[in-house]
Amino acid sequence: MTAAENVCYTLINVPNDSEPPSEVSLKADLEKGEIKAKTEALKKVIIMILNGEKLPGLLMTIIRFVLPLQDHTIKKLLLVFWEIVPKTTPDGKLLQEMILVCDAYRKDLQHPNEFIRGSTLRFLCKLKESELLEPLMPAIRACLEHRHSYVRRNAVLAIYTIYRNFENLIPDAPELIHDFLVNEKDASCKRNAFMMLIHADQDRALDYLSTCIDQVHTFGDILQLVIVELIYKVCHANPSERARFIRCIYNLLQSSSPAVKYEAAGTLVTLSSAPTAIKAAAQCYIDLIIKESDNNVKLIVLDRLIELKEHPTHERVLQDLVMDILRVLTTPDLEVRKKTLQLALDLVSSRNVEELVIVLKKEVIKTNNVTEHEDTDKYRQLLVRTLHSCSVRFPDMAANVIPVLMEFLSDTNEAAAADVLEFVREAIQRFDNLRPLIIEKMLEVFHAIKTVKIYRGALWILGEYCSTKEDIQSVMTEVRRSLGEIPIVENEIKKEAGEVKPEEEVSAAPAQKLVTEMGTYVTQSALSSSRPSKKEEDRPPLRGFLMDGDFYVAASLATTLTKVALRYVAIVQDKKKQNSFLAEAMLIMATVLHLGKSSLPKKPITDDDVDRISLCLKVLSECSPLMNDIFNKECRRSLSHMLTVRLEEEKLSQKKESEKRNVTVQADDPISFMQLTAKNEMTSKEDQFQLSLLAAMGNTQRKEAADPLASKLNKVTQLTGFSDPVYAEAYVHVNQYDIVLDVLVVNQTSDTLQNCTLELATLGDLKLVEKPSPLTLAPHDFANIKANVKVASTENGIIFGNIVYDVSGAASDRNCVVLSDIHIDIMDYIQPASCTDAEFRQMWAEFEWENKVTVNTNITDLNEYLQHILSSTNMKCLTPEKALSGICGFMAANLYARSIFGEDALANVSIEKPIHLGPDAPVNGHIRIRAKSQGMALSLGDKINLSQKKTVS
């Protein structure tokens, strides 16, 4: 048996660099040394025994020279020593010397010092030999009446473990503890006694609880937690008892202890599905989130609220609590806010959407005034997206939201402004009645927009949706205002030459003497006055972008001017006004072209932008109906189509989610009658306490797939050959942060193998937690050895090692069997995830590690290859289905996944089908992988390389 299977009581740090001392020197220290020397010698003995050394010669020395000492440190060390030292002979009989030890501990149980009594009682909990415990029973019973609570509570634990292991030693333990519980006043003693009754005699525990059920709210929190556990277990086993205890659980929701409130709320939800119970539990969870300062606690409790929402009948109850849930937004942590907003969005309905929007608007305005927190910009983005989703689902709300959000178009944070712009674009297309309001607000904030990307988007919206004569003229005014004086080139040359307006001139003032804060004099020259920076500040925004060499915005401006000019010609009948407007638009385009070709901007204009502006000039000079149709109708049709497709996708994903949540009952499902059900099958739900305990111990079993190939047998790795003297195979079980190796070792020889040890080492980001204990294997016997390996990050790891053993009776050296390597698959840690295109592009730019994998496959279909890569890497395709559909010679797709450690993995698939090589030619191209860590990028690349080729079935 390994330490993984045994309960671990005492952890001791062992320095690896020290030399093990000899038995003779230890004996001398234990016999004749001072207290300090004896302490050190005893520590060394304990470490050597833990490492598998047998030191039978020292047992009597310790009993004679160390056991009688009254030093507290030595007494503590002796408790550890007696816990680990072998107490029986090879044939299983108790060693004679242990009678002396037993007598010493009987004296310690009657010691006047309460610490020595208490620690001795704790030690007795770990003893597994009934012959040692039997003489101590009267002394243990007497400790129940000791004046100090430390002794009494440990006496209860000792009685409980002895009763559980050797009931014959104390058959009246439940009755004894029940009487003790009735008269006890100390909270910790009562808690231990009640805990024992729950596990040893549940009826007595219920009897006690029924006598004091009205006083439960006055008990200490440690006792309340145990009472909650008892109520849960009783009602889980016997649902008819629910009515008896539900009031008690309601009372415990008002407890001052957060842990009790949390457990009581969880228990209440499992006991009752009545709306009042669900509401009380949810309210309790919300209070916990708001009052607890630890963000991890907030996230855990939020997960419980999300679990409640998943139940169709509970969702309506939670909808009434949306405003309470939004109080959680006061937490500064972004992850908590993100989960809260998502939960609120899932619960929003026509009844509460108005209140939700008011709160979110206030939060958005608050973020405008707070700049010191680093997550403010990201939080603002979250709020904008939430308001966007609300407005799409409830169009009546859009009119309230848009004016507030449009103020943020002038924000310096491009990401938040881009989200607002996307929202505005969708709203102006979808809601015709809001167009005048949006155009008005857009014209108001247009001159204040600071980033070029947002400026381009705003130009496009104004060009696309300005339909009245006044709006079109306003757009032209704003464009002229943003460009400044034209022609731009001449104006800029004049400025450079200093031929500027008097108010812009900087007079050559004489040198000034200034006094600094420190009292010293400095001279400021007229030459150092910041005329260039003043000129930069005074430069209008659009001209600033063009002078920086960003002529893509010029192409966007040309398109906008063309659209509004064509529309103006259609609206205004006066030929003179038509020509005047067209001439102005063409003058602006021409002056921008001139500027691009000059040497004034930091970067010259690109050929693409020249072509676009020239095309727009040609369109305006001809004004043909076909071009009018393309510019003013086709663009909007494309946007409308894109928004429709996106809405369909959202509806489809929502439909899938709702289908998942709806509990479908098949016509041939068996009907369960409570009266006919066996007691242990009373409820289909698992015991939550048992599940949480298993999760804490890392024993959570994943639900295996229905396919038998995906069962446990598929994860068995053969470590040695069938002809080796020792055969070994391992089942690799991957938990979230560790790997458990369950190794089956079979002795294939006719000899007894002694000290058979599994020695393991790791490569990669893996760490062996413990050294497996040595075994003795009888001829043709087998045994299971478990080893734990800790995982720190997502990358391929290798576990390698050997099995060493001695043959009983042979004089030769130790034998060794080398094991095959165990490769840990990265796929166990990678899960599909989704992100927006903007987030993908941002991460793609930030991540420094790239791995380029050349496609080398026998698959001939582009779509089939993509699906094969998705299934073999656990990644999710972010490119929409419609963009990938259809027959084409090439394909580009973005893939994304996240590891359980929170690491992101991005991939871009660029593949083509070489048509000139015939229909059976395989797909070729590249897959580029990007990740923050080198290990992740390399491991994912290796995985793709290994699984590219499709196996022929």
> In the chain, where are the structural domains located?
348-446, 458-495+540-652, 714-824, 828-949
Q: Check residue 5 and give its pLDDT.
A: 41
List the CATH code of the domain at 714-824. 2.60.40.1480
Nearest-angstrom CA–CA distance, 205 and 212:
11
Nearest-angstrom CA–CA distance, 949 and 952:
9
828-949 homologous superfamily? TATA-Binding Protein (3.30.310.10)
Nearest-angstrom CA–CA distance, 276 and 789:
47
Alpha-carbon distances of 521 from 514, 524, 838, rounded to whole Å: 6, 10, 52
> Residue 229: is it exposed, middle or buried by C-beta count within 10 angstroms (0-12/13-18/19+)?
middle
Q: Check residue 928 and give its pLDDT.
A: 92
Q: Check residue 25 and give its pLDDT.
A: 82
Cβ neighbours of residue 82 under 8 Å, at least 6 residues apart? Answer: 101, 123
> Residue 294: is it exposed, middle or buried by C-beta count within 10 angstroms (0-12/13-18/19+)?
exposed
Q: Tell the residue number behind the tokens 């400044």, with chain if given.
A: 484
> Residue 508: is it exposed, middle or buried by C-beta count within 10 angstroms (0-12/13-18/19+)?
exposed
Cβ neighbours of residue 255 under 8 Å, at least 6 residues apart? Answer: 217, 221, 224, 261, 264
Q: Check residue 457 and give its pLDDT.
A: 85
Cβ neighbours of residue 743 under 8 Å, at least 6 residues apart? Answer: 719, 728, 729, 730, 758, 784, 785, 786, 787
Alpha-carbon distances of 433 from 393, 444, 647, rounded to whole Å: 16, 19, 20
Phi, psi of 886 (to 5 degrees): 95, 160
Instruction: Write the DSSP assignment of 859-872 as a string of letters.
Output: ---HHHHHHHHHHH
Give the bridge partners for 433, in sequence order: none
Give the single-character DSSP code of 704: P
> Residue 232: is it exposed, middle or buried by C-beta count within 10 angstroms (0-12/13-18/19+)?
buried
Nearest-CA neighbor of 617 among 589, 598, 642, 651?
Answer: 589
Phi, psi of 717 (to 5 degrees): -115, 125
| Percent helix, percent strand, percent coil in the chain, to nearest 5 | 60, 10, 30
Q: Check residue 908 and give its pLDDT.
A: 92
Nearest-angstrom CA–CA distance, 554 and 665:
61
Nearest-angstrom CA–CA distance, 942 and 430:
47
The model's pLDDT over 488-523, given as tens digits with 9 standing for 90+, comes to 777 777 776 766 553 443 333 344 444 444 444 544
pLDDT below 70 — which residues of the chain?
1-20, 52, 91, 369-374, 413, 496, 498-538, 628-629, 653-669, 671-713, 736, 793-794, 809-812, 950-953
Task: Give yes or no for a contact between 251 and 217, defined as CB atoms under 8 angstroms apart.
Answer: yes
Nearest-angstrom CA–CA distance, 533 and 531:
6
The model's pLDDT over 834-879, given as tens digits with 9 standing for 90+, comes to 888 878 888 898 888 899 989 888 888 888 888 888 888 888 888 8
Nearest-angstrom CA–CA distance, 279 and 285:
10
Q: Check residue 726 and give its pLDDT.
A: 92
Task: Give yes or no for a contact between 164 and 148, defined as CB atoms under 8 angstroms apart.
Answer: no
Q: Check residue 513 and give its pLDDT.
A: 46
Nearest-CA neighbor of 389 among 443, 348, 433?
Answer: 348
Secondary structure (3-state) at 829: coil
Cα 723–729–731 angle (5° rounding)? 165
Burial profile 180-216: b = 16 or more Cβ within 10 angstroms, e = fewer:
bbeebeebbbbbbbbbbbbebbeebbbebbeeebeeb
Instruction: Write the DSSP assignment of 445-487 as a string of letters.
Output: HGGG---HHHHHHHHHHHHHH--SHHHHHHHHHHHHHHH-SSS
Alpha-carbon distances of 824 from 761, 828, 885, rounded to whole Å: 13, 8, 36
> Residue 716: is it exposed, middle or buried by C-beta count within 10 angstroms (0-12/13-18/19+)?
middle
Nearest-angstrom CA–CA distance, 324 and 882:
40
Q: How does strand 738-747 pair with strand 753-763?
A: unpaired
Q: Check residue 434 and give its pLDDT.
A: 80
Secondary structure (3-state) at 273: coil
Pull the structure tokens for residue 335.
Answer: 């992850």
Cβ neighbours of residue 379 under 8 Å, at least 6 residues apart? Answer: 334, 337, 367
Q: How does strand 775-777 pair with strand 797-807?
A: unpaired
Give the single-character DSSP code of 952: P
Q: Check residue 812 and give its pLDDT.
A: 67
Nearest-angstrom CA–CA distance, 670 and 678:
15
